[in-house]
Amino acid sequence: MSTLHTVNKSPFEKNSLASCLSYAMTGGTVLMLEDGIYGALKGTKVEAQVKSALDNVKVYVLGPDLKARGFAEDRVIDGVKVVDYAGFVDLAAENDKVQAWL
C-alpha cells in the first residue's frame, strides 16, 4: 500500500509538515503544494527535517506554487523534485491513495 501525502500549509505556521513526515512510511511519497512549498526551500529552520526525511520517502514540490511565490527551482533543497500539475496527477495515479495534511 503506497500513499501520496500532500502538505499545503506553511511549516512555520502549522505543524502539518512535521506530522506528515513523522507518519509517512518508508517508501511513501510527500508532495508540498500551496503554502506548503515553503518547506521545500533551502536555508530554512525546517530544512534539516526535510533532508532527513529524504532517506525514507520521496519528496516533491509543486512548481506553479513555487513560481507564484517568487521562488526559482534552484532554491529547492537538493533531492526534492519539482513537478507540474501533470506530475501531480501522475503521483496521485501511481499511489494507492492520497492523504492530505491540512
Partner 1 sequence: MSGVIKNFMYLNRRAPYGTIYAWESLEVVLIGAAFDQDVSLAFVDDGVYQLVKGQQTAEIGMKNFSPTYSALGDYEVKKIFVETESLEERGLTPDDLQHLVWEDEDDDWAERDSIRFVSRAELAEIMEASDVVFSF
Phi, psi dihedrals of residue 37, rounded to the nearest 5°: -60, -25
Q: How many residues bind partner 1 (CB under 8 A)?
A: 24
Is 35 near partner 1 (CB under 8 A)? yes
The 8-class DSSP code of residue 32 comes to E
From CA 41, how far away is CA 76, in angstroms rounded? 5
Q: According to CB under 8 A, which one of 44, 49, 95, 99 is a site residue for partner 1?
A: 44
CB atoms within 10 A of CB 80: 22
User: Of all helices (H) and strands (E), which one includes residue 13?
Assistant: none
From CA 16, how far away is CA 5, in angstroms rounded? 11
Stretch that binds partner 1, among 2-10, 23-31, 53-61, 87-95 (CB under 8 A): 2-10
Minimum CB distance to partner 1, residue 68 (Å): 4
Is 8 near partner 1 (CB under 8 A)? yes
Is 34 near partner 1 (CB under 8 A)? yes
Which residues bind to partner 1, rule: CB under 8 A?
A: 8-10, 12-13, 34-35, 38, 41-45, 47, 63-65, 67-72, 85
